[in-house]
Structure 1
């Protein structure tokens, strides 16, 4: 088994809840491939309890499988032989055999499959919790990958389980410094892979045996047998009902339609009708709404946030015909253009939070003027450009001079001190720029 990487915060949160007295109800949710099952397995080590991974099957099968799990754990032959047809009878029997004082866990992974296939399950387990389990020392842990089901039927105020959970946690992507630990390749190649698939553990495992990004992209993306060739359709089909509509919206954004009206026109949907779709995709983390860090918050645009979706629409969807004929290739200029776009995300999410932990970070634009990243502290304003290229000193100075001019239009108040910076793959004369008061970081600095 591959070693368990990071999740220090999540393990601490689970351990903190486990240490508390009395019954606990912990909910873990998040997108598929994010590592929920592995997290639960690591947390359960050395603890007493039972672990059930639900399948996307019918109620009768799920009752039978759970019945066998509990019968095996409690060594109850009668439960194993009993013919139980509904959840009410199942939980009623559990009240007879579950100990009240003993600390043990009941972990149900893919909980959302059970709820999806039987809406009555949430009410049944709520009654079991209220009437019995909440009065014991049990640790009920449920997790689910179907984000919509978990949000609506487990976490929302309309759910029978609302108010019962003692803690919930959304499992998110690993950041770059931990994602690196999966990969055995040069530092720049790690950044390229990360900018193509993000910090999804399952995706990183697919890349771990490759020595470079190009080979990984060729075999896993632009191949008919590649792992990622059909991955977006699979993810959307598991989460959403109107797959074609959501797919078209993502394609519209990938093609550069970033405003709701333009996205709606591309997708053939009314402008008013487009918003629920956008909100759902944003909730799943596939897209994000970006607004200028200062200025009009109404002038927001939508961009693809998920790295794998972004890479896929840029290099797989557009080349499907060639991939099927085994003639596809990724042009270096197109790849560099893609990395140039994603480099800004990388700096925003993985580098600047470490350099400026107290700053509010975002993009800024007005009409035709754009600044890649602006970071605002109480007394300072930082302006940055991000370039996925090797810069000569003269080029770096030109970019910084232009940045200083653009910053005049941002409208920073409170007389903040203004500091200008540049991120690039490599910067010639970096030390000179640093001595002159600029912030200049190349890839080597960013990876420290």
Structure 2
């Protein structure tokens, strides 16, 4: 069996299902390319008795034909049976095939891209509900895995199903992209030896998506790899953006409009601001679009300090989407060497700062550990104050409101050397802290935290303002 990098908690869940003496219905979901299929195949390789994947936008007849052919091949039938008339008959064929195998041993049935099988008027979901409730639940040796990249569909139609599958899911896994530590481990496994600074650059452009990271070649710098993957004629990710969204969402143009709007606003947008910017209706449409993008991992909702969920600020959290919209989508230049030029321009230096902040927001667990507050109850928040005509504003992209009556305000800076706080930036930091205290009326102790690639230069400004100095290596632990 190939090695499975990371996925510690997910592997525990899969091992638990194997040890169960009852039928298991496992739902696995997460955005495309994140490694769902690989995880299931490699974890259950010895036990899979049937594996089938839906095809995007295929007709019902084609899906049923593919299903029939897969079964016929497994059963080594010289002449395939007739194509089933519908999914009820198809599942009866699966039952007849699987039942003798399950009588003797533990067996896994794996349906991949489950949402693609449930096309309009296909009758797939009702047929599956009947199949599972009438037969599957009685098979103590059966683990049935349903997997899908359309995460919101999986949540609504399967996990939170109000019909025949209500409360039938025994285990669920939402598979997220690799962390920085997992990314480093994965690259090392593929004989790619890069330091933390280089890996962070890759992460800011590609994210922790295993399928993207598979394209990284040994012996090339982060810039060389990004150049080849994203800007050359045959680069794997040059045209990934539209394919990615079109394969996941029926009305992908609306989802892309939201992603574009958030890409242009680093500080994020509220629901009302998104509706206004994208020209959406104020009813359930906007809520559904935001839920689908959130569940699929493209955007994230952040709770403002001392506010409730209605005031959530949405930010673009998919690294590749942010990178594509900034440097690939509107860039006329392409071909080898394009990124090597772009990455030396001022636009990259400005963009890298916001991209690094997004990476830090995904590693708050590691930041808390570096601060020594891993065991302290904290609430993570963002905060912003929009000023009047004569008042200064302020924005905080990450703060920890701690149970020990302290608040840690985090500043995140990406640079190619140690970061130096000069007089102007020191004034900005002090003003931000003063505005925050004044507007929130907090009486808690405020600690300023600097998170940077190589640490912060010791000088009088750092000594007077910064209580905690965290280097990027802490995010890899």
- Normalised by the shorter chain, which TM-score bucket? 0.7 to 0.9
Contact 1:112 1:150 in 2 (8 A): yes
Counterpart selection for 1:229 from 238, 241, 257: 238
User: What number of residue pairs does the alignment pair up?
Assistant: 445
Structure 1 unaligned runs (5+)? none
Question: What's the CA shift for 1:238?
Answer: 0.9
Superimposed CA distance per residue, residues 16-65 of structure 1 (whole angstroms, 9 cap, x where no aligned partner):
12211121111111111010110011111333523223334333343344
Identify the residue that residue 311 of structure 1 maps to in structure 2.
Answer: 323
For 1:148 and 1:297, the matched residues in 2 are separated by: 19
CA pair 393-127 structure 1, distance change in 2 beyond 3 A: closer
CA RMSD, 1 decimal: 3.3
Contact 2:109 2:143 in 1 (8 A): yes
Contact 2:24 2:170 in 1 (8 A): yes
Identify the residue that residue 378 of structure 1 maps to in structure 2.
Answer: 403
For 1:287 and 1:167, the matched residues in 2 are separated by: 25
Contact 2:52 2:111 in 1 (8 A): yes
2:367 matches 1:362:
no
The more displaced of 435-444 and 303-312 is: 435-444
For 1:349 and 1:437, the matched residues in 2 are separated by: 22
2:352 matches 1:352:
no
Question: What's the CA shift for 1:387?
Answer: 1.8
Contact 1:152 1:159 in 2 (8 A): no
Identify the residue that residue 391 of structure 1 maps to in structure 2.
Answer: 419
Identify the residue that residue 205 of structure 1 maps to in structure 2.
Answer: 214
Contact 1:387 1:423 in 2 (8 A): yes
Identify the residue that residue 390 of structure 2 maps to in structure 1.
Answer: none
Counterpart selection for 2:159 from 140, 155, 161: 155
Contact 1:304 1:310 in 2 (8 A): yes
Question: What's the CA shift for 1:341?
Answer: 0.9
Q: Secondary structure at the match of 2:438?
A: coil
Identify the residue that residue 54 of structure 1 maps to in structure 2.
Answer: 54
The more displaced of 404-413 and 40-49 is: 404-413
2:91 matches 1:112:
no
Contact 2:227 2:337 in 1 (8 A): no
Question: What's the CA shift for 1:365?
Answer: 1.5
TM-score, length-normalised on structure 2?
A: 0.82
Counterpart selection for 1:284 from 293, 296, 313: 296
CA pair 309-110 structure 1, distance change in 2 beyond 3 A: same
Contact 2:178 2:209 in 1 (8 A): yes
For 1:322 and 1:436, the matched residues in 2 are separated by: 43
CA pair 266-209 structure 1, distance change in 2 beyond 3 A: farther
Question: What's the CA shift for 1:105?
Answer: 1.2
Counterpart selection for 2:134 from 121, 131, 134: 131
Q: Secondary structure at the match of 1:33?
A: coil
Question: What's the CA shift for 1:131?
Answer: 1.8
Question: What's the CA shift for 1:111?
Answer: 2.1
For 1:114 and 1:336, the matched residues in 2 are separated by: 45
CA pair 269-145 structure 1, distance change in 2 beyond 3 A: closer
Question: What's the CA shift for 1:10?
Answer: 0.7
Identify the residue that residue 446 of structure 2 maps to in structure 1.
Answer: 418
For 1:333 and 1:436, the matched residues in 2 are separated by: 28
Taking CA–CA contacts closer than 8 Å with sequence separation of 6 or more, which of the two structures ends up with the larger relative contact order? 2
Contact 2:231 2:335 in 1 (8 A): no
Contact 2:149 2:296 in 1 (8 A): no
For 1:77 and 1:2, the matched residues in 2 are separated by: 31
2:262 matches 1:253:
yes
For 1:16 and 1:64, the matched residues in 2 are separated by: 34
CA pair 313-157 structure 1, distance change in 2 beyond 3 A: same
The more displaced of 260-269 and 19-28 is: 260-269
Counterpart selection for 2:434 from 405, 411, 417: 405
CA pair 86-421 structure 1, distance change in 2 beyond 3 A: closer
Question: What's the CA shift for 1:312?
Answer: 1.0
